[in-house]
A and B are shown apart, each in its own frame.
Chain A
Amino acid sequence: MSTPTWDGVVPMTRSRYLYLADLAGDNLLVSRPIAHNVNMPYDGDEEKAVYVVANRDGLACYAGQTRPSRSWTGAAGIRLKQHLAERSKRDEWDTFWVLPLKWSTKPAIIDWYERTVATRLMLPLRHHRGGTVI
C-alpha cells in the first residue's frame, strides 16, 4: 500500500465545525454541521463557501474556498467535483463539510477565512499558496 497523500491531524466533528463556523461571524449563510459524502449528490444552496475535506480516517485533510464570479448555487459541490478529477483525491477523500458564506461576503474576508480555517486545522501550507477560484 502506498502512503496516503492526504493526511490530517485533527478529526472533523460537529463541534469543530461549529467552532470554525463561529469564526465567520455574520458572514456565515447558515450553519450546516454535517459531513457530506464526496460521492453523493450535494444539494447545498450557497454561492460562496469555504469547505473542509476529511479523508477516510475522518481527519481534516484539505480546506478550500469557492467564490465563482457568477452566482451558482451549491458552489462547494461544483468545486468538489472538479477536485475529484484527481486520482489521489478520488481515492482518499471521503467526506466534506461546507461553511456556506453569504453572497455579500467580501473576497478579502473569504481569503482570510480560508487561511484561518486551514491553519486552525493544521493543514500543510503548500495547498494554500495562491487563491483558488473557479
Chain B
Amino acid sequence: MTVNSVTVAANTADDPRDNLEAEAAEAPLQLIPVATATTTDGTPTLRVIDPRSAAKAAAALDGLAGVDLDEDTLRRLAMSCVEANGFHVTRHRAGTGWLSIIDTRQFVTLFTLTPSNDRLGDQLIYAADPSFDAKTVKDGRRIGHIAVPMPESDGTHAKLVYTASKDTLLEATDRNCQAVRKDNPQHDIGPDIIHRSLTTVFTNLRYVGGLNDLEQVSVDGNSRLASAYAQIKVDPNWLPQRLRKQYQDQDQRPTLLPSMLMSCDLNERRDLTRKIIKANEDRLALPPRATLKDLKERNAAVCALNALTAPVQVIVGYEDDDPGSYGMSRFASAVRSLLVRMNVGVKTFDTGAQNAVIAEEIVLAAQQTGHFGYDEVELLIGREDVSEVMKAYGLDPDLRDLRAMMVVYFCAQNSSKLNKAMREKFGKRKVMLPHRSAVASELVLRSYGAVLSPYELERARTALNSGCIWQSLVDQPWQARKVNDDRSVDAVLKRALRELNPVGEKEVVTGEPGSHARLLGVLGMVALVVGGGLTSPKGSSEKEVGDLIDRSSVASIVEKLTSFPWGLRMLAENIKRNRAGIPLLGIQVPDGTTDIETFDDPTASVTARDARLRHAVRVAVQGSAGKTAASDEENAFNELCSKILLADEAFQNYRVIRNQDPSPALLPFHQTDGPIKKLEAMAKALNRMTAEDDEQ
C-alpha cells in the first residue's frame, strides 16, 4: 500500500496548481506534533483512539455536570478525539440560556461541515416556491441548490435535528464546503495546524425515508474545516468498497469532501483516518532526497497531517433560563444565535443572505414572544412546503403573489412584539420602513427561487429592497384577502375604485386610497416587480423617455399608482397577466403630451417599461418637466465630481508653483483654515450621505 500511495502522491504533487502552493513547496514544511503518542523510535505520531479507552472516556464525560447527551453520542464524541482525557465543561451565554462546551482535539475526518446553507441564502431554492418539486426532482432524486430546513431541537438532549432527503443534505454540505473554500480560503492551514477552535454540535440527520444518522457538525469554523479538507487527498481504495467506484473514475486523487465522509459510518471513517495517517507518515519516513519532487511530496504529506486534527469546542449541554416551560426546546435557537453572531460579519455573507438570516431570526423571535403562530411562521419562513398552510388560509397555493401578500401583510403589522424583534435584530432604536422592507423582500423572494433566473431574482431583490412597504400599509387598516382568481381581482378593483370615488369623464378623484387600494397595490407591486414592469431606476432611465422620472422606491411608485383610477386598473390588469405568465401592460406618456395611456408591447425592455411607468407617475403627480437629460440628481452628482477634479487640478498647479521655492515656509493658519474647513465639511457631509462599504 505504501508504494501505491507514494506513486499517487507523486501525481498530485506535479499538479500545476495555483502559485501560492507552488511557492509553499519551495521550502520544507514542519510537521507540528499535536499528540503525546510516539512510535517505537520516539517520532511523534497520530493514533485513532481505541474503543476501550473511548468507552472509559465516555463514561467520564457522562459524569460531568452540564453534559446532556445520550450514551451513543458521548461514545461517538470520545471515539473522535485524538486524546480523550482532561475534559472539563465551560458555560457560554447564548440567546435564551447557557451552552455547555468542552474543549478537545479531534480528527477532522470524524465530523463534518454544517448542512445549513444560510450563507448562500439569497441563491437558494425554497420549498415555498410552488414549482419547487418540478425544478428539483430528477430521476426520483432531489437535486439542485435547495434551502435545507432549519435545524430543530432534539427535545431531550443537546442535539439538533435536520430533516431532509439524504441527497439534499449531502449536496448542501458539499456546496457549503466548496463555497467557503473558494470565498474564504485559509492558506495557512496545512503549512500550519488550525489554531482557533472550531465549534461543533451533535446532530441527528433524519433522512426522509426513515434512516437516521448521528453526525457531529461544525457550527463555526466551516472555512477552516473546508481548508483542512482541501489539504487531505484520499486514495479511493481507502474507502469502503461501495464508494470506490464514483471516485475512481477521476484522474486525480480526490480531496476530502463532506459527502465522502457522511456516506461512511463511524468505523469506516476511523479506518479511513488510520489509512490517511499511515500513508502520510510512511511517506515522511522515507529518507529525504534532494529533489524538488521529493520535497513537494513530503510537504504535501506534512500538510495533510497538520490539517488532519483540529482543536474543537463541542457543545454538550444546554440549560434554558426557563427550564420549566422550555426544557431543551430552545436549544436550536441558542445554537443558531451563536452561529449568526459569529458569521454575519464575514464578507461573503451578502446583504441578501444577511437579510435572509435576520428575517428568519425576527420571525422566530416574534414567535417566541407569541406574536406569530406556528402556521404563520411556516408560511413566512418558507423552508418547507407551504401549500397546506396556504390552503388553510383559503389561498391558492400555486399563486406566488398571494404568499407575497401574506408576507407583506405580516411584516407591515405595527405590533410592539414584532417591532421589538426587528429593533433587536437590526440593532436599531427605531423600526423604519427600510427594515420592514428588507425582511419582507427576502421572504417574498423565497417563492421565486426556482422560476426566476439569477439575474431576474437579483433585479427583483434590488427593486424590493429599495422599499416594498409604504407607510399607509403600516398605519392604515387593510386586510389580506382570498384573491384567488380574476373575478376576485376585479372585485377588489371595483371596491378600490369606489374608495377613490372618481367623478365625471375626467375621473377627478374625490376620495382617498382605502384598504382595497392597498391590497391591490401590494399584489400589483409584486406582479410589476416580478414581471419586469417596475425595477430600481437606472442612470440612463431619463434618456429613455427624454424627461425626468420619479426615482423613488417601488413602494412609493405603487402607492402613487393606487391614488389614480388608471393606476388601479393597470395594477389589476397586471396581477392577472403576471399570474397567467403573459407580458405586462405598460403605461406611458406620449411625447409632448401629459396624457397617460397604456401600451402593450411584449418587446419593450424592462428598463424602458420601468422608465415609462416612472415617467407617467411623475407626470401624473407633478406635471411635465419638459427637459431632456439624465436625472437631475445623477447629473448634479457628475457635476460635483468634475468640480472636485477641477479643484484638484488647481491644487496641483498651486503645489507646483509653491515647490519652485527651494524651501517653502509653512502657510499662515488664517490662509488655509478656510479652505480646510470647507473641504472637511464637504467630506463629512458626503460621508453622512454614504452607505457603509460592505466589502470591508
Q: Which residues of A contact B (CB under 8 A)?
A: 13, 15, 22-27, 106, 108-109, 112-113, 115-116, 119-120, 122-125
Contact = CB atoms under 8 A, between A and B. Distances in A.
Interface in B517-573: 538-541, 543-544
Given A120-B641, A125-B646, A112 B540 contact: yes
Contacts of B538: 22-26
A125 B645 contact: yes
7 contacts: A15-B694, A15-B695, A26-B606, A113-B539, A119-B645, A120-B638, A122-B644
Interface in B313-354: none
A116 to B, nearest CB: 6
B634 interface: yes
Interface residues of B, number: 24
Nearest to A22: B538
B413 interface: no
B605 interface: yes
B649 interface: yes
B630 interface: yes
Contacts of A27: 540, 607
Contacts of B641: 119-120, 122
Interface in B621-658: 630, 634, 637-638, 641-642, 644-646, 648-649
Contacts of B649: 124-125
Given A15-B694, A119-B645, A122-B644, A26 B608 contact: yes
A119 B540 contact: no
Given A26-B538, A116-B638, A109 B543 contact: yes
A109 B544 CA distance: 9
Interface of B: 538-541, 543-544, 605-608, 630, 634, 637-638, 641-642, 644-646, 648-649, 693-695
B607 A26 contact: yes
A23 B608 CA distance: 14
Most buried by B among A23, A106, A108, A116: A116
Contact of B540 (A15, A24, A125): A24
Nearest to B455: A31
A66 to B, nearest CB: 18
A29 to B, nearest CB: 12
Contacts of A119: 638, 641-642, 645
B543 A108 contact: yes
A38 B646 CA distance: 29
A51 B446 CA distance: 35
B694 to A, nearest CB: 7
Given A112-B630, A116-B634, A125 B539 contact: no
A52 to B, nearest CB: 15
B645 A23 contact: no
Contacts of A25: 538-541, 544, 607
A23 B541 CA distance: 9
A23 B638 contact: no
Nearest to B645: A125
Contacts of A112: 540, 543, 630
B504 to A, nearest CB: 39
Contacts of B695: 13, 15
